[in-house]
């Protein structure tokens, strides 16, 4: 059955294929989008001048400012590819992706990936078996190819959402593969390895940053013996997909804007987003009096107008946490990695 969408703003399926909920507020969305469309148009003109028809993005304060204000949809795949280094890797390895698809397969890896196909964006009509074309096949190819490309990682849950999201944005299978490689191999190393050492380390780093910047929340967590892994692991694993509501109105725009900065500035953006969510909702979190209540509060802070007003939210992530130098993060990573290794060996270091 075909879905008729006239006008687009009132369609029950958004432009990326996500079904809008029955209680979706079309009036509020139209009000938001009518104003935001003017901003997007102005931004697209500036980006066209910056790119000047070239497949390159200069490393400059001007380019960083443009990225932080949002990359227009028509330029986003190209800009992500260029600033992440994915474009260079793809050009340096012609035919490599197809060679991975044509090569011998690890049966266990393939079966694990197949198991997650129907779990990926079940509310998106483009990933359903009845869709034509069905993006499950594209997703399967990207994940299988990557699992054989990076055998130390293979596949773990969470990668399906990231790859699926890349496919929706780029609409290009090979580009999605190389962008996945940029994220997992360079921007977020060891997040998805079997030991997940990078992921565990960065969650502990967040805890240390919260102690510095939102100490009352850190004290609450410590008082109830709650580790940061319990409340923020999916923020890091899914890079806020499946956490911040993935509906291509204000919500998806917020995730897109986060990823724009993630590809350009690297992993510190994840800490900025996490710290902003926690600091902005500090009073709300501190109302919690027990373990289940704290966990529920952390689920609630990823919803509501604060995260759906993408422009305001993105301004906040660069002001609310204050100064956050990469050197500080790297120093904390060194200490936290030592702690992680010590935990494995039965010794915890402070």
- Chain segment 186-242, per-residue pLDDT in tens: 999 899 999 999 999 999 999 999 999 999 999 999 999 999 999 999 999 999 987
- Contact in structure between 270 and 235 (CB atoms under 8 Å): yes
CA 306/CA 313 separation, integer angstroms? 6
Provide the pLDDT for residue 10. Answer: 64
DSSP 3-state assignment of 2? coil
Give me 4's structure tokens.
Answer: 């008729």
Q: What is each CA distance from 91 to 175, 320, 326, in whole angstroms?
A: 11, 39, 29
Provide the pLDDT for residue 5. Answer: 42
Provide the pLDDT for residue 251. Answer: 57
Q: Can you count the helices (H) and strands (E) in the chain?
A: 19, 0
Evaluate if residue 338 carries a pLDDT over 70.
yes
Provide the pLDDT for residue 247. Answer: 46
CB-based contacts of 187, cutoff 8 Å, min separation 6: 84, 262, 263, 266, 267
345 — pLDDT class (breaks 50, 70, 90): confident
How does the average pLDDT of the chain come out, rounded?
90
Mean pLDDT for 27-49 is: 82
DSSP character at residue 48: H
- Contact in structure between 169 and 256 (CB atoms under 8 Å): yes
Q: Which residue has the higher pLDDT, 21 or 348?
A: 21
Return the bridge partners of 13, or none: 19
The 10s digit of each residue's pLDDT in 250-274 is 557 889 999 999 999 999 999 999 9
Provide the pLDDT for residue 28. Answer: 76
Residue corresponding to tokens 């500036």: 46
Among the ranges given (47-56, 100-109, 188-197), the one the predictor scored with the smallest mean pLDDT: 47-56
Q: What angle do CA 160, 165, 166 make, to 5 degrees?
A: 100
Q: Which residue has the higher pLDDT, 175 or 195?
A: 175
Provide the pLDDT for residue 230. Answer: 94
Provide the pLDDT for residue 9. Answer: 54
Evaluate if residue 347 carries a pLDDT over 70.
no
Provide the pLDDT for residue 27. Answer: 80
Provide the pLDDT for residue 319. Answer: 96
Provide the pLDDT for residue 11. Answer: 80
Q: Which helix (H) or strand (E) holds 20?
A: none
CB-based contacts of 232, cutoff 8 Å, min separation 6: 203, 206, 274, 298
Residue corresponding to tokens 């998806």: 252
Mean pLDDT for 100-105 is: 97
**pTM over the 0.75 mark:** yes
CB-based contacts of 347, cutoff 8 Å, min separation 6: none
Q: Which of 36-50, 206-220, 302-316 has the highest mean pLDDT?
A: 206-220
Q: Is the dihedral of CA 146, 152, 153, 155 positive or negative?
A: positive
Return the bridge partners of 18, or none: 124
Q: Which residue has the higher pLDDT, 150 or 303?
A: 150
Give me 148's structure tokens.
Answer: 């054989």
Give me 51's structure tokens.
Answer: 């790119």
Among the ranges given (103-112, 146-155, 301-310), the one the predictor scored with the smallest mean pLDDT: 301-310
Mean pLDDT for 149-171 is: 95
């Amino acid at each position: 059955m075909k879905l008729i969408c006239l006008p687009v703003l009132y369609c029950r399926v958004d432009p990326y294929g996500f079904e809008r909920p029955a209680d979706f507020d079309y009036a509020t969305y139209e009000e938001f989008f009518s104003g935001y469309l003017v901003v997007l148009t102005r931004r697209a003109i500036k980006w066209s001048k910056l790119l000047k028809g070239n497949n390159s993005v200069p490393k400059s304060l001007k380019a960083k400012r443009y990225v932080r204000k949002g990359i227009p949809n028509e330029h986003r795949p190209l800009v992500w590819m260029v600033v992440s280094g994915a474009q260079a890797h793809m050009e340096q390895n012609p035919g490599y992706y197809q060679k991975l698809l044509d090569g011998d397969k690890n049966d266990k890896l393939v079966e694990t990936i197949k198991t997650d196909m129907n779990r990926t964006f079940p509310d998106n009509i483009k990933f359903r078996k009845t869709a034509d074309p069905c993006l499950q096949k594209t997703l399967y190819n990207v994940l299988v190819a990557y699992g054989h490309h990076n055998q130390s990682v293979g596949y773990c849950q969470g990668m399906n959402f990231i790859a699926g999201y890349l496919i929706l944005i780029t609409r290009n299978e090979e580009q999605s593969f190389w962008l996945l490689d940029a994220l997992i191999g360079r921007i977020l190393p060891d997040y998805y390895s079997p030991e997940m050492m990078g992921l565990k380390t960065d969650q502990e780093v967040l805890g240390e940053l919260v102690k510095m910047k939102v100490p009352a929340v850190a004290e609450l967590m410590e008082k109830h013996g709650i580790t940061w892994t319990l409340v923020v692991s999916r923020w890091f694993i899914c890079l806020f997909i499946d956490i911040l509501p993935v509906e291509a109105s204000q919500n998806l725009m917020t995730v897109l804007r986060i990823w724009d900065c993630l590809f350009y500035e690297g992993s510190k953006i994840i800490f900025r987003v996490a710290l902003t969510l926690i600091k902005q909702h500090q009073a709300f979190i501190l109302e919690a009096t027990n373990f289940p209540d704290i966990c529920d509060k952390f689920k609630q802070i990823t919803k509501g107008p604060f995260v759906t007003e993408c422009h305001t939210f993105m301004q906040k992530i660069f002001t609310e946490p204050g100064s956050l130098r990469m050197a500080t993060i790297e120093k904390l990573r060194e200490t936290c990695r030592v702690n992680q290794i010590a935990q494995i060996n039965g010794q915890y270091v402070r």
